[in-house]
Amino acid sequence: MVRVNTRSKAAKRTAEAPEADTRHATKGVQQDVERLAKSKKAQVTTAADGSTTRRTSSSRNGVETEKTLTTSKNGKLLESKLEYSKTTRKGDRETENTFVAETDLLGRRSAQGRTETTSLSGETRRHTVTTKQNDVYGVEQSHREQTVEKPLADGSRTATHTKTKDSVGNQHASSDVTTVREQGGETVTRNDTKAKGSTLETRSHATFDDGLFSVGGGADWKKGQSFGTSTLREREIEKPKAFETADAIGSRAEKALDWLELDAASWSSQVDPSRLKETVLAEGDHGSVRTRVGVTGGQSVSFDGRRGVDSTFNREAKAGVYAESSGQVSGRLGEASYQAGAKAEAKASVDARGRLDTNGLDASVTARVGASIEAEVHGRAETPSITIGGVELNASVEGHARASAEAVAEATGRVQITRNPPTAIVSGEAGASAVAKVEGEVKFSAGPFSVEASGYASAGAEARASGVFGYEDGKLKIGGSLGAALGVGLGGSATLEVDVAQIGEMAKDIADVNDDGKVDFWDGVAAIKKTASFATGWLMPDAPASTTTPATGGVTTSTAPSTPGAVSGTTTTPAATGTNTWDGLSMPNPDRYNMENPKEAAQFQRDMAKYQQMMNNISLYWQTLSNVLKAQNDTAQAIGRNTR
């Protein structure tokens, strides 16, 4: 007899658990986690959710160290989580390491490690963050970002560089450098940015809440490049005397308005709706084609009665063609419907707004022109409902697709002149962009099961420029910027949902064979009775319960036994002419049929065919039963292997 120490095995599994969770961590983190998990000096706390946290702190040779380990394995199925952190401080250097490993309810693992370091060397400050993550799909990604702040002889320089790469071949790099210099009484600020490469971002989830099981995931891939540069020159100057004059005039205006005690007033109007005309080119039972051409917009002016006037003005001119179509059919197999639309449209707009008060003027104008095309379709099909296990079920499929392309150019200008604070500045920005995108999604559901998937592809380009000139914050400012970007993208996601609660209701209703509202032993008895009744009718089709046939040439009576193997009634030896009687179980006896009689000979052939069909059904029944037993045995063995 061999005795197994189950307590020792459990302790061994517990000790091995952190190592399994930290397989994606560095060797140093793995050792720290193992030591912290076994440390007898650690402060241990247990939260209400069952998670356990262990903490230690130490100070040695001027180095302060704090460590924390939190583990939780109280999920509904296979969920678990491990969180580790370590912070060290020595002089002007501080380093924080974190590691998080998670297992979802399906047993899929993901992990992320992060190291953040801040250091100061002389007057140069460095901040570095490195991360490494492994997702549930096996994709490994590393990212490094470093910011260096460095003084220069005539200013300062701040540079941030990032680099990302993954195990499937994507790489992306970017930089953002800002330099501030003092040159000839001017402060010159220059910023340069650039980025190039591709990135892949993945996401996943697996949840089980309120009887609903959901598992899904997705990915977004982007590739492109961009650049930008800007320069701003600032020089401190004395406040122009014009502001003193404006300040005096503004003060007098405020006093005059206060003395007049004017009432607030406002006015607004809209462009006549008839200026936007719609023409029907074609129209039918399932759709139409229309055009719209015209102008919309409005204007308004309001006076607050004390300090100033606000005004707005906007106009939009558009011309487009719009097509719509829809339809629906229904029949024995269910219903189906669709809606589709397409449009080609061009727009031009101007939007102006401003405020004039005793403090000054603040006004802006934006002009925009663009063209777009779009096509969209939505369809749905649904089967009639059926009831299974007391639950009403049906199946449906729904899809949506959209394709669009748009090109836009716009420009914005702003004028701001105020006496407090003294400001007189003009700024503007202009840009153009073009974007094309195709996207779609589909959803299929059948009873408690549903699957939803979506995807998209896009491409775009953009260019922008801006400028500024004027007096603000006591400085004369002159600057401008220029930038451009180009990129493509792909993405998609899928989600499977199972309504476990609904399945449970169906199973409970089906298992209640005797309809007493409970699932117990007597439901098994009722099920056996129904199965026996079904099997008897299936194995012995059209078997007579009893037959009485008069014999030819005399009175001869035969009553078939009601139960195979039992004898009842009275039988006599049949005459040569036969009685054409078959008990429905044994092979038909030709001696009991008058073969010279065509009708009885035909009856004998029919009874033999029924007998052969019964034998075939019995053979099929035993073959099916054998396969079911084998499948049950294989399933039990598989469950045993997985459990071990």
Q: Do both 239 and 371 map to the same domain?
A: yes
Q: pLDDT category, 177, cuts 50, 70, 90?
A: very high
| 381 inside domain | yes
Among 19-23, 111-115, 237-241, 254-258, which range has the highest average pLDDT?
111-115
Q: 631: Cβ–Cβ under 8 A, 6 or more apart, which residues?
A: none
Q: Do both 24 and 107 map to the same domain?
A: yes
The residue count of the chain comes to 644
Identity of the residue numbered 240 = P
Mean pLDDT for the stretch of residues 52-63: 91
Q: Do both 282 and 208 map to the same domain?
A: no
What is the predicted pLDDT for the residue at 569?
Answer: 37
Reference 326, options 339, 337, 335; nearest CA is 339
For residue range 570-589, list pLDDT tens digits in order: 333 343 444 556 666 567 88
The torsion angles phi and psi of 513, rounded to 5 degrees, stand at -65, -40
Beta-carbon-side half-sphere exposure of residue 358 (alpha carbons within 13 Å): 16
Q: Do both 247 and 386 map to the same domain?
A: yes
The span from the CA of 566 to the CA of 560, in Å, is 9
The β-bridge partners of 570 are: none
Which range (185-189, 204-208, 377-381, 464-468) has the least confidence? Answer: 204-208
**pLDDT over 80 (residue 512):** no
Q: Do both 573 and 585 map to the same domain?
A: yes
- The SS3 of residue 109 is strand
The span from the CA of 45 to the CA of 49, in Å, is 12
Which range (74-78, 111-115, 187-191, 379-383) has the least confidence? Answer: 74-78
Is 71 in contact with 51 (CB distance < 8 Å)?
A: yes
Calculate the dihedral angle through the C-alpha atoms of 32, 35, 41, 46, rounding to the nearest 10 degrees.
Answer: 80
- The SS3 of residue 512 is coil
Reference 149, options 181, 132, 116, 127; nearest CA is 127
Q: Do both 248 and 353 map to the same domain?
A: no
| 250 inside domain | yes
Q: Do both 313 and 458 map to the same domain?
A: no
Q: Tokens 């079920």 — which residue?
A: 393
| 416 inside domain | yes
For residue range 120-143, list pLDDT tens digits in order: 999 999 999 999 999 999 999 999
Helices 521-539, 598-643: inter-axial angle, 10-degree rounding = 140
What is the predicted pLDDT for the residue at 17?
Answer: 41
| 139 inside domain | no
Is 336 in contact with 295 (CB distance < 8 Å)?
A: no
In total, how many domains does the chain have?
A: 4
Q: Do both 369 and 317 map to the same domain?
A: no
For residue range 473-497, list pLDDT tens digits in order: 889 999 999 999 999 999 999 999 8
**pLDDT over 50 (residue 535):** yes
Q: Do both 443 and 567 map to the same domain?
A: no
Is 404 in contact with 428 (CB distance < 8 Å)?
A: no
- CA angle 418-419-423, nearest 5°? 50
DSSP 311-323: EEEEEEEEEEEEE
Reference 472, options 555, 362, 553; nearest CA is 362
The span from the CA of 387 to the CA of 101, in Å, is 44
- The SS3 of residue 50 is coil
| 630 inside domain | yes
The span from the CA of 251 to the CA of 258, in Å, is 11
Q: pLDDT category, 632, cuts 50, 70, 90?
A: low
- Identify the H or E element spanning 377: strand 360-382
The domain of 607 spans: 542-643
What is the predicted pLDDT for the residue at 432?
Answer: 96
Is 188 in contact with 205 (CB distance < 8 Å)?
A: no
Q: Do both 494 and 605 map to the same domain?
A: no
What is the predicted pLDDT for the residue at 513?
Answer: 61
| Alpha-carbon distances, residue 80 vs 50, 110, 141, 476 (angstroms) | 11, 11, 22, 60
The span from the CA of 640 to the CA of 642, in Å, is 6
| 86 inside domain | yes
**pLDDT over 50 (residue 374):** yes
Q: pLDDT category, 425, cuts 50, 70, 90?
A: very high
Reference 21, options 78, 88, 87; nearest CA is 78
pLDDT, greater one: 208 or 584 = 208
| 530 inside domain | no
**Would you give the DSSP letter of residue 638?**
H
What is the predicted pLDDT for the residue at 398?
Answer: 93
Q: Do both 259 and 289 map to the same domain?
A: no
The span from the CA of 100 to the CA of 110, in Å, is 8
For residue range 142-160, list pLDDT tens digits in order: 999 999 999 999 999 999 9
What is the predicted pLDDT for the residue at 457?
Answer: 96
Reference 77, options 111, 100, 106; nearest CA is 106
**pLDDT over 60 (residue 556):** no
Q: From 511, 531, 559, give the residue that closes a domain.
A: 511
Please provide the average confidence, as pLDDT, over all residues in the chain. Answer: 82
Q: From 489, 511, 533, give the residue that closes a domain.
A: 511
| 160 inside domain | no
What is the predicted pLDDT for the residue at 587?
Answer: 76
What is the predicted pLDDT for the residue at 574?
Answer: 40
**pLDDT over 80 (residue 109):** yes
HEC sequence for 513-545: CCCCCCCCHHHHHHHHHHHHHHHHHHHCCCCCC
Q: Tokens 């004017």 — which residue?
A: 262
Among 169-183, 508-522, 582-596, 622-636, which range has the highest average pLDDT?
169-183
Q: Do both 260 and 365 map to the same domain?
A: yes
What is the predicted pLDDT for the residue at 44?
Answer: 93
| Alpha-carbon distances, residue 411 vs 32, 303, 364, 467, 479 (angstroms) | 58, 28, 11, 12, 17
**pLDDT over 90 (residue 621):** no
- The SS3 of residue 626 is helix
Q: pLDDT category, 359, cuts 50, 70, 90?
A: confident
Tokens of 439: 């996207």
